[in-house]
Amino acid sequence: MVMDGVTMEVGAVAAMRYIKDGIKAARLVMRHTKHTLLVGEKASAFSISMGLPGPTDLSSPESIEKWNKWKENNCQPNFWKNVVPVNSCGPYHSNGLLLVAETTCPGDDPRRAVELRSNHFGLHSHDTISMAVIDKFGYIAVGTSTNGATFKIPGRVGDGPIAGSSAYADSDIGACGATGDGDIMMRFLPCYQVVESMRLGMKPKDAAKDAISRIARKFPDFVGAIFAVNKNGTHAGACHGWTFQYSVRSPEMYRTEIFTVHP
């Protein structure tokens, strides 16, 4: 996903195979179509028609080995829930239980039924890169690229291509980038929240902490992080469930500086 903070144009692709440079494909969507998001096989075909190399086999020896070991472990862990058989590679079927909303009694807290997710996300289970850039004219752009969660269910789309979730920019205000449990974070559009909070006068540090805390109140086991930067270049980060690092480089800096944010 890429977003122009001046025009508010967005280009994004999702569930795309055989194309190595997803962020380039997203930019092609923004530059050459009036759409915002293309997905699946047709997104791949579009990208190739616009000049990107492909179809390309994106498997590596490391990824194949990881997948084989996962299969040998009966496809555990995975992202299925309320299905049978539980400890296998499927095919899966509903276990026949009613929805939580239909089985809870008055006064029960439905959040008790939310499965803990910490075993799915961590430093080595996904590979999101989110970036914000401010040019010499003060124009801001953001971009996010990711392969998504390891061992995800085929067809899954996370927060990477969702404007306002993985990233958001408004050159009048600032920008935000996010990483972590995208299935949870995209429900809150945390980066849109950050930019709007800064619009109302919050400092980047407070805006980032506020967006993270909104998620943590509902999902205390989630893992995620945010960086925020205003139009003047003041930046900060906030995280939950891990220690987060982000890097900054400006024309005045001799080298890139890494900032560490603790939960």
What pLDDT, in 10s, does the model give residues 76-120? 999 999 999 999 999 999 987 654 444 444 455 555 445 544 445
Overall domain count for the chain = 3
- The answer to whether residues 49 and 68 belong to one domain is no
pTM equals 0.89
- The answer to whether residues 128 and 22 belong to one domain is no
- The answer to whether residues 103 and 25 belong to one domain is no
Residue pLDDT, tens place only, 17-54: 999 999 999 999 999 999 999 999 999 999 999 999 98
- The answer to whether residues 20 and 141 belong to one domain is no
Structural domain including 73 reads 61-113
Which residues make beta-bridge pairs with 143? 2, 131
- The answer to whether residues 156 and 234 belong to one domain is yes
Residue 61's H or E segment, with its range, is helix 61-72
Residue of 128, 144, 150, 179 with catalytic role: 128
pLDDT at 130 over 50: yes
- The answer to whether residues 26 and 73 belong to one domain is no
128 assigned to active site: yes
- The answer to whether residues 162 and 72 belong to one domain is no
CA distance 228 to 244: 13
CA distance 48 to 57: 14
- The answer to whether residues 71 and 53 belong to one domain is no
- The answer to whether residues 49 and 100 belong to one domain is no
Token digits of residue 32: 């050459």
- The answer to whether residues 132 and 218 belong to one domain is yes
- The answer to whether residues 139 and 241 belong to one domain is yes
Give the position of tokens 């800096």: 253
- The answer to whether residues 24 and 140 belong to one domain is no
Residue pLDDT, tens place only, 184-198: 999 999 999 999 999
User: Rg (Cα) of the chain, in Å, rounded?
Assistant: 20
Amino acid in position 83: V
